[in-house]
Amino acid sequence: MYSVAVLGATGIVGQRFVSLLAEHPYFELTAVAASERSAGKRYAEAVNWCIEGEIPENVRDMVVRNITPSEVRADIVFSALPSEVAKKVEPEFAEAGAVVASNASAYRMEGDVPLLIPEVNPEHLDMIEVQRERRGWDGAIITNPNCSTIIGVLTLKPLMDAFGVEEVVVSTMQALSGAGYSGVPGMSILDNLLPYIPKEEEKIETETRKILGTFNGSEVEFAEVRVSASCTRVPVLEGHAEAVFVRTSREAEPGEVAEVMRRFRAKPQELKLPTAPEHPLIVREEHNRPQPRFDRNAGGGMSVTVGRVRRDGVMGVKYFCLGHNTIRGAAGASVLNAELMHRLGVL
């Protein structure tokens, strides 16, 4: 068993971590940490628990710690911190010898930091050796992509392998929980939608090219795929939806696209990692699916559901997809990264 801690444990993503890690076959949750507003309180007192289910019994009475390596000692540190805080503290933990599995964007695009989706680019974990050598750390930082990026790229990977992907246009409809607990006021979003999410479009456009790129032993050669994103916030609690339009290199019939998505399996499924869904992609035939309320919890929140796969007169093929933003798009993604690292002997 590895000892693990959650940084930012009282936030939306932090709560998901607590819920996924409370009873985990490889990891023992030994510490929770948050800002000085919460430090020193019992977890149950400090947190405004807002996800389904109860606060796990073994975590309720843990005392929330400050975010410093001297107060939080663990083999793996799962980070659900705001990016500007992560930027400062994540290297301190890596230097102190912990493996930091981060949700924050602070280090995602660094040349020696893996931006990992275990089904898509497990070989990018080799970057850790370069990172340790360059930075002189015993620990490491690995990151998972932005929530919308993960959901979209999972659907693109089988298309890339089967047909090649040249251009992608994506329009997202993103849930409120993606903005954090106090991210979007109710007055702004009820009976409404917001046509702008700061930095989100840039993240999707650049992260996709890194994840689908090739690690050549010293750096990632970005994939030659052009991506254009338009992002909106909608009054849904959990579950990001995306309308995706793809120009493939080789012509692809909608039926073939659906088939390669259905058949898609990768390393996490082969290794039967505890958090890996049996089907990373679920393709539905109904015209009215996927929908957030019905499909976000597919595969324990780790499967992405695809529907309405059809021909597009401009780009070639188009479809609609949906995934759970705080599970597959955040905490579940980090936990799966750490499970993969354990099974590949990288921890």
Ligand X SMILES: NC(=O)c1ccc[n+]([C@@H]2O[C@H](COP(=O)([O-])OP(=O)(O)OC[C@H]3O[C@@H](n4cnc5c(N)ncnc54)[C@H](OP(=O)(O)O)[C@@H]3O)[C@@H](O)[C@H]2O)c1
C-alpha to C-alpha distance for 322 and 292, rounded to whole angstroms: 7
Site for ligand X (CB under 6 A): which residue of 5, 13, 20, 336?
A: 13
Q: 258-277: which residues touch ligand X (CB under 6 A)? A: none
Q: Which range touches ligand X (CB under 6 A), out of 7-15, 151-159, 214-222, 276-284?
A: 7-15
Site for ligand X (CB under 6 A): which residue of 20, 21, 31, 80?
A: 80
Site for ligand X (CB under 6 A): which residue of 118, 152, 158, 178?
A: 178
Pull the structure tokens for residue 237: 């609690």
Question: In 123-148, which positions are buried (b, 16+ CB within 10 angstroms) versus exposed (e)?
Answer: ebbebbebbeeebebebbbbbbbbbb
DSSP string, 265-305: --HHHHTT-TT--S-SEEE---TT---HHHHTTGGGGTPEE
Asked whether the bond before 290 is cis by omega within 30 degrees of 0, the reply is: yes
Residue 262 to residues 79, 256, 259, 278, 339, Cα–Cα distance (Å): 32, 10, 5, 11, 24
Rounded to a whole number of angstroms, the minimum distance from the CB of residue 33 to ligand X is: 7
Site for ligand X (CB under 6 A): which residue of 120, 170, 276, 330?
A: 330
103 contacts ligand X (rule: CB under 6 A) = yes
Total residues contacting ligand X by CB under 6 A comes to 28
C-alpha to C-alpha distance for 324 and 242, rounded to whole angstroms: 12
10 contacts ligand X (rule: CB under 6 A) = yes
Site for ligand X (CB under 6 A): which residue of 56, 180, 254, 274?
A: 180
37 contacts ligand X (rule: CB under 6 A) = yes
Q: Is 342 a catalytic residue?
A: no
Q: Which long-range contacts (CB under 8 A, 24 or more apart) does 287-294 make?
A: 290/241, 290/320, 290/321, 290/322, 291/322, 292/175, 292/236, 292/237, 292/238, 292/239, 292/241, 292/322, 293/239
Q: Which range touches ligand X (CB under 6 A), out of 78-86, 264-272, 297-305, 311-319?
A: 78-86
Site for ligand X (CB under 6 A): which residue of 44, 55, 85, 223?
A: 85
C-alpha to C-alpha distance for 115 and 122, rounded to whole angstroms: 10
Active-site annotation holder among 124, 147, 279, 342 = 147
69 contacts ligand X (rule: CB under 6 A) = no
Active-site annotation holder among 124, 231, 240, 279 = 240
Residue placing its CB nearer to ligand X in the complex, 37 or 310: 37
Q: Which range touches ligand X (CB under 6 A), out of 126-134, 175-183, 209-217, 242-250?
A: 175-183
Q: Are 171 and 235 in contact (CB under 8 A)?
A: no
Query: In a 3-state reduction of DSSP, which class is residue 63?
Result: strand
83 contacts ligand X (rule: CB under 6 A) = yes
Site for ligand X (CB under 6 A): which residue of 325, 327, 341, 342?
A: 325
Tell me the catalytic residues.
147, 240
Residues that bind ligand X (CB under 6 A): 8-14, 34-35, 37-38, 67, 80-83, 85, 103-104, 147, 177-178, 180-181, 325-326, 329-330
